[in-house]
A and B are shown apart, each in its own frame.
Chain A
Amino acid sequence: MERIVKKIRQEAKEKIERIKNKEELEKVRIEFLGRKRGKITELLKNITTLPLQERPFAGRLANEIKREIQQLLDKKRKEISSEEEVEERVDVTFPGRKPRIGKLHPLTQTTEKIKRIFVSMGFRVVRGPEIETEYYNFEALNMPRYHPARNEYDSFYLNKGYLLRSHTSPVQIRVMEKESPPIRIIVPGRVYRRDAIDASHFPMFHQVEGLAVDEKVTFSDLKGVLSSFAYQMFGKTTRLRFRPSFFPFTEPSLDLDIQCVICQGKGCKTCGRKGWLEILGAGMVDPEVFKKVGYEPEKYQGFAFGMGVERICMLKYGVDDIRLFFQNDLRFLNQF
């Protein structure tokens, strides 16, 4: 018995060694382990013909060799399959199976970018309600009733004097009423105006408002913060222009232009042949506003700014129609 086992072991080792592919492997497997005429199977069957006292030993021997051959075969199988993988190259140009991933809306992406820039300069994010009162939307911002500046803020009215805020500036007031300086906030959010829909107007859009108040915040600080923002948003080499402007709640006020991203200042359709694109309005908080919230105007000073997210996004990505943002066509959203 021992002799036979030894012989089979030797034979199996040699044969397994010479195996080159799956077919050969299967042949060798059947030769030794095949259920019907495999050499080991035969061997096990023969055990029953042995004298009773030899059977346990023979059985153990047979099982050992069976296991051994199985292991050798497994090992060889692994070798073969790894070799075969190398032999048959996959077509790497065939498209991959893509896992699903979504997209954030371009306006969110833009808002987030604006947020990050200002947060890095020590601003914190605050939000406010979209349903506002005339007081917060206008009066506290130094725009009494029948102020001509209200022309630019044509609002949707609800019952009882409530309205949909036409800018995010009311949140300045809400924060200053609750907190005392130093304050450094930005306020992203939706605003509403009674504009007829066209390529550059939509009755709802998004703004980001900013406010910094302390004892020594200056106009030059405002220029610094806005320049830093514009460079981070539109690139280091962007040319900037600060122009005097007017807002009832800031004095002095300014508009910030960047050199047209399309024509580099030569003048084109996008910039209306001006060569410059307005990106935001800002100014030093008007003392009247401080009075409204109970701040001592001689003690505190600060700046506020506001920008349209749609406009920034349109300029940054070359979107020429504001309506695209609200159609939410996946083919559009996918491009951001």
Chain B
Amino acid sequence: MKISYNSLKRIVDFPFSPEELAERLNTLGFEVKNRDVFEEDVIFDLEITSNRGDCLSLVGIAREISALTGKSLHLPCNDIGKLEEKSLFQIKIIDLDLCSYYSACLIKDVKVAPSPLWLQKKIQIWGGKPINNVVDITNYVLWEMGQPLHPFDYSSLSGGKVIVRRAEEGEILITLDGVERRLSKDMLVIADEKRAIALAGIIGGRDTQIQDYTRNILIESAFFNPVSVRKTSQKMGITTEASYRFERGVDAWIAKEALKRAIFLLQKIAGGKVAGKIMEKGKLPPKKRWVFFRPSKVNKIIGKRISKSRIKRIFHNLQFEVEVKDREDKWKISVPSFRKDIEREIDLIEEIVRFYGYDKIPVTLPSLGKETSCEDFKEEVREKIREILRGLGFYEVIGISLEEEEIFKKANLSLSESVRLKNPVSTRQNLLSTHLFPHLLKIAFGNLNQGIEELRIFEMGNIFNKKKDILYEKISLSSLVVEKEFDFFSLKGIGEVLLKELGIEGVDFSFGEYPYLSLNEGATIKKNDVTLGLLGRIHKKVAERFQLPPYLYLLEFNLSNLFSFYNSKKRVKALPKFPFIRRDLSLFVKKEILTEEIKKLIFEEGEELEKVEFFDLYQGKPIPSGYKSLTCSLIFRAADRTLKDEEVNKIQEKIINSLKEKMGIYLRGESPGV
């Protein structure tokens, strides 16, 4: 909200320069967003928090400065003298729950014209557009006193009656902005005998607006229910200066004062004459309310002793009355009706700190006490995974979890389990990600487009899906490799290293079919029948659709499942005392026999066998078709003695025979080993 330095100073005579004032406003919680010089004046643009509806006016801010400095307020003049006891029109409030107080006044023989220059300037300072003297005056008073007013062209009202009621379902009102609006019955309107003439507290109707030829005007000043105004304003999609203030709570007690101020100005500027008295209906709330307060609580919450006399002075300057019973630690504080934000002791404590000064509160650290800072092992796992992947040359990326349908199609993903936003900003982001890899593909494309030829990226993030209307949220780890000299086994190696580092052993890799992975190069990673993840080459079609090269590999883990198998309780084993003997075997194996099966058989047959490792997998010439060749190295070691060559020879023989008999595997030439 914009505040003029000069106008403010006229209401409360503070001793601050514009710079000092800005500083003080900040320390009171009204952040100065901007400061502009305007002719001889300085205009501050203030951020008013949503709890301080009472500060959305010049008087409101002046009250704060008065509370800070102890200087008295000089409220704008609204002395309109004595009015005739006549009532020329009627007010009828039907829905008192939405409008507890309504006042209005009829002013005759107004000359509608452009405002005088000084008023036009005020309107400009405030950020508005001068329209005519009547409208400008109501806007000016809103800015000055915080009370929204609305002027009607009295001659276009039928029946001499102002009715405050809920709209009928489907009732039509053309508002000031020229929009035809269909109302519903939970909305409050101002009406005459025939129709709605304004959307209460939000915007007036076009038919009753002030025209150049308007002579008689009716000015409304009322209190509307904040929630009702907010609901209607949201439903209609209109926010106005009036609705903004009503939502945040206007002081009902100021309604009449503001109306008088407007009349005062109209008489002065627009030559109007008041016809009859100010008509009022409804009830005003109590002018003040009592809140209990314990001075001792201030120290307890704030951690700083503030003297009772200081506290009393702060309350006094805020126009709060203090009732102290004897020497008890229980005070009664009266809070004026305009301070809607103060209902409890804690709210009073806030006022004390605010005026005492946040900067004068000491800086301490809480004692550790009994708190046990027990680090969550999941954080450890996340950190570990990131560090491992980083060490393996992966860049971490962060993509947005909102997707468009198109991406699902391009990635061969089904939409059936996807979760849709009810109110997206755009259709380009209307679904929640069910997988992370489509982002990664997009990111890879973006980077390849910048001339990078190869990359490794990963993301850790949540993914979402829906099954039978139930929403699920999972944490996923997705990593993508774009590299020419790379293959399935390089990818698998990365997965294996990662799992090993997390202490997850005994993991099975099996063939896995996924619509977005190549049929021949896709696998599922499991442990004890729990799926940990998947890996493989991205399907050629998918790669093409994302305009990516075919050497594209994906490794994904369900992080929640990794968490459950994570083993942080590693125990060190003693190093072996006796030397090992290594034997390498080159094998010709039928294609369909899996390495894992060979390994199993070797272990079954091999005594004193410590480790079997496979390498050099090869298919194609000169290997006869239907076969593959691979090499395995066997490490033999006994725990209690040095093995002898002859001993190992025998075991090796047994293994070779068994491979031959049970699997039809034969050696490619004898290799006696080292």
- Which A residues contact B (CB, under 8 angstroms)? 100-105, 107-108, 112, 115, 119, 121-127, 129-131, 146-149, 151-152, 156-160, 162, 164, 182-184, 190, 192, 194-196, 202-204, 212, 214, 216-221, 223-225, 227-228, 241-246, 248, 251-255, 272-274, 284, 286-287, 301, 325-331, 333
Contacts and interface: CB of A to CB of B under 8 A. Distances in A.
A246 B29 contact: yes
A101 B450 contact: no
Given A103-B390, A243-B31, A158 B371 contact: no
Contacts of A227: 363
- Looking at B354, B394, B421, the one whose CB has the most chain A CB atoms below 10 A away is B421
A195 B426 CA distance: 11
28 contacts: A100-B392, A102-B395, A104-B390, A108-B396, A119-B373, A121-B365, A124-B373, A127-B378, A146-B230, A149-B50, A156-B421, A159-B469, A182-B370, A182-B371, A194-B425, A219-B303, A220-B362, A220-B363, A243-B29, A251-B346, A251-B349, A272-B34, A287-B344, A301-B301, A328-B399, A328-B443, A328-B447, A330-B452
A323 to B, nearest CB: 10
B425 A284 contact: no
B131 interface: no
B406 interface: no
Interface string B44-55: 000001111000
A218 B395 contact: no
Given A219-B304, A243-B31, A333-B396, 8 more contacts: A107-B398, A192-B402, A212-B366, A223-B358, A241-B26, A243-B26, A244-B29, A252-B350
A284 B298 CA distance: 12
Contact of B457 (A101, A146, A246, A328): A328
A148 B301 contact: no
Interface string B408-434: 000000000001111111000100100
B425 A203 contact: yes
Contact of A218 (B26, B359, B364): B364
A285 B446 CA distance: 44
B442 to A, nearest CB: 9
Nearest to A123: B373
Interface string B446-482: 1100101001110001101000010101000000000
Interface in B330-367: 344, 346-347, 349-350, 353-354, 358-359, 361-367
B310 to A, nearest CB: 16
A149 B396 CA distance: 35
Contact of B396 (A105, A217, A254): A105
A152 B446 CA distance: 33
A29 B456 CA distance: 52
B344 A146 contact: no
A190 B475 CA distance: 12
B350 A251 contact: yes
A147 B50 CA distance: 9
A328 B397 contact: yes
B674 interface: no
Given A220-B362, A333-B395, A148 B303 contact: no
B572 interface: no
Contacts of A162: 471
Contact of A325 (B347, B373, B398, B425): B398
B616 interface: no
Given A246-B52, A272-B34, A301-B301, A190 B401 contact: yes
Contacts of B26: 241, 243
